């Protein structure tokens, strides 16, 4: 971890730039995969699954019996933990329901905005060594709360029974297909995989690139995803052991993760760095964490306020306020995905079980994006209704504007109605 002392002439947006990688080869091969799946459907999926996963698949959908039998392959303690996490996520997202809006903008002119759920959503769940139960819960539970009728999960073969169990809890249909081809299948539909209204979920570079490409083609996605990040602001009340553990918990996500510690206290920085060196040795993912720490920083500042200023420039995905009375600073936070308040609020809580969503903006996108929430599974429709009195009230305004834009038919649509009304009276 690189240690630096804050000087006002340091350009933090330059210094804390995320390690971005742009790979034109990935772009081209993803483009080809999408095109193949779009045109050839299932037969392309079979070939690509054989090529990338080395598996012959006849039927992509996991049958109900296999899903049901996953029940017996999950330990009771894990089941209980999944239940608590799911309940908390459900509680927090249920409370996010918003009401429709209806306003008379003028006498006789009524406007309405209503929320409608997305009927069918697609969730991508990455494969690999660790089963990402939390991904299924963080996306599946809010989709269920929102009322989405169909949940489609795509995940690479072979599918872990724990994933199947979590999918059964949220009532998702599961298809064993992974990578960019899975994203293409959900975006355009194949003979067996239905086309979805929006695609959610994390993934490797290919999956992320595929999401970006289909979103450019008009299929919405949750958030542009990048490597995970954490910024900790610690004052003299922080507990170095905790801060070190939190920084490592984020560093172990991936070699490209980034963690930043900002403190107004030299001894907190030094003790935290010592603790990191101690704790990292006991991590099975030590090498990944060490790699992530290479592009990470500890910054000494004069005040907590200055630390928040730097954090707002960085716009972290996760922000921990390991300070006395963190609520004092709440309104100063302008850019962050999710904020963890005080010494007993670890970032892991938000990753798994407190109830907030862990699908958050990375790479500085927190400047303009928020994380996934209940509204991510909805869209809006507006309605308007105008009475004869209303059109007389508003008509001249519309005619004036339409004429100014030289759109005569638009003006006529109003004039004709106004004329009819004045002939009647």
Rule CB under 5 A: is residue 317 a binding residue for Zn ion? no
Could you report how far apart the first and last alpha carbons of the chain are, in Å? 81
Cα distance between residue 383 and residue 322, in whole Å? 47
Q: Smallest distance, Å, CB 354 to Zn ion? A: 12
CB nearer to Zn ion: give 42 or 351: 351
Q: Name the catalytic one among 93, 253, 318, 358.
A: 318
Closest to Zn ion by CB, 176 vs 343, is 343
Q: Which of 154, 360 has the CB closer to Zn ion?
A: 360
Q: Is residue 61 among the annotated active site residues? A: no
Q: Read off the tokens for 20.
A: 């971005």
State in angstroms the smallest separation of the CB of 180 from Zn ion: 25
Judged by beta carbon, residue 275 or residue 351, the one nearer Zn ion is 351
CB of 50 to Zn ion, least distance (A): 34
Candidates 179-187, 207-215, 232-240, 346-354; binding stretch for Zn ion (CB under 5 A): 346-354
User: What is the spatial distance between Cα 374 and Cα 79, in angstroms, rounded to a whole number?
Assistant: 24
- Strand segments, DSSP code E, in 258-312 are 258-263, 297-300
CA distances from 40 to 35, 188, 218, 343 (A): 8, 11, 20, 54
Which of these segments, 69-77, 234-242, 347-355, 369-377, binds Zn ion (CB under 5 A)?
347-355
- Residues 11-30 binding Zn ion (CB under 5 A) are none
Whether the CB-CB separation of 93 and 359 falls below 8 Å is answered with no
Show Cβ contacts of residue 340 under 8 Å, excluding neighbours closer than 6 positions: 318, 319, 320, 321, 346, 347, 349, 350
Of 47-55, 103-111, 287-295, 351-359, the segment contacting Zn ion by CB under 5 A is 351-359
If DSSP codes are grouped into helix, strand and coil, which group holds residue 125?
A: coil
Name the burial class of residue 194, with classes exposed (0-12), middle (13-18) and buried (19+) by CB atoms within 10 angstroms of its CB: middle
* Least CB distance to Zn ion at residue 249 (A): 6
Q: Pick the catalytic residue: 317, 400, 410, 419?
A: 317
What the block records as the tokens of 77 is 């303690």
Scanning 58-117, the segments in alpha helix (DSSP H) are 64-69, 76-94
**Residue 93 bears catalytic tag:** no
Closest CA to 226 of 360, 93, 26, 392: 360
Question: How far is the CA of 31 from the CAs of 23, 122, 163, 170, 198, in angstroms?
Answer: 13, 20, 29, 32, 19
Count the site residues for Zn ion by CB under 5 A: 1
Stretch that binds Zn ion, among 31-39, 171-179, 259-267, 344-352 (CB under 5 A): 344-352
Minimum Å gap between C-beta 78 and Zn ion is 19
Q: How far is the CB of 253 from Zn ion (least distance, A)?
A: 6
Pick the binder of Zn ion from 53, 229, 256, 351 (CB under 5 A): 351
Q: Which is nearer to Zn ion, 10 or 130 (CB)?
A: 130
DSSP state of 98: -
Q: What's the closest the beta carbon of residue 122 comes to Zn ion, in angstroms? A: 24
Give CA–CA dist 127/113, Å, rounded.
Answer: 40
Residue whose CB is less far from Zn ion, 41 or 350: 350
C-alpha span between 356 and 354 (Å, rounded):
6
Q: Which is nearer to Zn ion, 117 or 349 (CB)?
A: 349
Smallest distance, Zn ion to C-beta of residue 272, A: 18
Question: How far is the C-alpha of 369 from the C-alpha of 352, rounded, in Å?
Answer: 21
Closest-approach residue to Zn ion (CB): 351
The first and second tokens of residue 371, run together, are: 């994380």
Of 197-205, 239-247, 268-276, 348-356: span binding Zn ion (CB under 5 A): 348-356
What is the Cα gyration radius of the chain? 26
Pick from 182, 151, 143, 232: nearest CA to 42: 182
Task: Identify which range of 156-164, 173-181, 343-351, 376-384 contacts Zn ion by CB under 5 A.
Answer: 343-351
Q: Cα(353)–Cα(89) distance, rounded to whole angstroms?
A: 7
Q: Which residues of 358-383 are buried (b: 16+ CB within 10 A; e: fewer)?
A: bbbbbbbbbeebbbbbbbbbbeeeee
Closer residue to Zn ion in complex, CB, 235/351: 351
Site for Zn ion, rule CB under 5 A: 351
- Residues with active-site annotation: 317-318
């Amino acid at each position: 971890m690189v240690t630096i002392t804050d000087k006002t002439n340091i350009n933090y947006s330059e210094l804390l730039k995320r390690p971005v990688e742009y790979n034109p080869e990935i772009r081209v091969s993803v483009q080809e995969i999408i095109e193949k799946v779009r045109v050839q459907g299932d037969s392309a999926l079979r070939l690509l699954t054989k090529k990338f996963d080395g598996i012959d698949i006849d039927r992509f959908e996991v049958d109900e019996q296999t899903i049901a039998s996953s029940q017996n392959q999950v330990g009771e303690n894990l089941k209980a933990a999944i239940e608590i996490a799911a309940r908390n996520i459900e509680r927090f997202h249920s409370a996010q329901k918003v009401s429709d809006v209806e306003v008379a903008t003028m006498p006789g002119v009524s406007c309405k905005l209503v929320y409608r759920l997305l009927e069918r959503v697609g969730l991508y769940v990455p494969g690999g060594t660790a089963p990402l139960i939390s991904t299924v819960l963080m996306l599946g539970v809010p989709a269920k709360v929102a009322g989405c009728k169909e949940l489609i999960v795509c995940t690479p073969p072979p599918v872990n029974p724990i994933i199947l169990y979590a999918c059964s809890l949220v009532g998702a249909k599961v298809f064993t297909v992974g990578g960019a081809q899975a994203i293409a299948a959900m975006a355009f539909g194949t003979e067996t995989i239905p086309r979805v209204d929006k695609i959610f979920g994390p993934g490797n570079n290919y999956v992320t690139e595929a999401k970006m490409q289909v979103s450019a083609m008009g299929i919405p996605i949750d958030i542009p995803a990048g490597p995970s990040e954490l910024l900790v602001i610690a004052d003299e009340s922080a507990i170095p052991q905790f801060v070190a553990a939190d920084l490592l918990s984020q560093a172990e996500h991936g070699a490209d993760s980034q963690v930043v510690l900002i403190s107004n206290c030299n001894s907190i920085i030094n003790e935290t760095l010592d603790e990191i060196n101690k704790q990292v040795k006991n991590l099975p993912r030590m090498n990944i964490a060490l790699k992530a720490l290479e592009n990470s920083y500890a910054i000494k500042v004069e005040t907590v306020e200055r630390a928040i200023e730097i954090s707002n420039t960085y716009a972290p995905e996760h922000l921990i306020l390991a300070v006395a009375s963190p609520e004092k600073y709440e309104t100063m936070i302008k850019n962050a995905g999710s904020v963890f308040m005080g010494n007993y609020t670890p970032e892991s809580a938000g990753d798994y079980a407190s109830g907030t969503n862990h699908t958050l903006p990375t790479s500085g996108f927190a400047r303009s994006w928020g994380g996934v929430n209940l509204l991510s599974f909805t869209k809006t429709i507006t309605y308007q209704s105008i009475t004869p009195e209303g059109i007389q009230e508003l008509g001249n305004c519309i005619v004036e504007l339409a004429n100014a834009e030289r759109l005569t038919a638009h003006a006529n649509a109003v004039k004709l109605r106004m004329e009819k009304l004045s002939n009647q009276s």
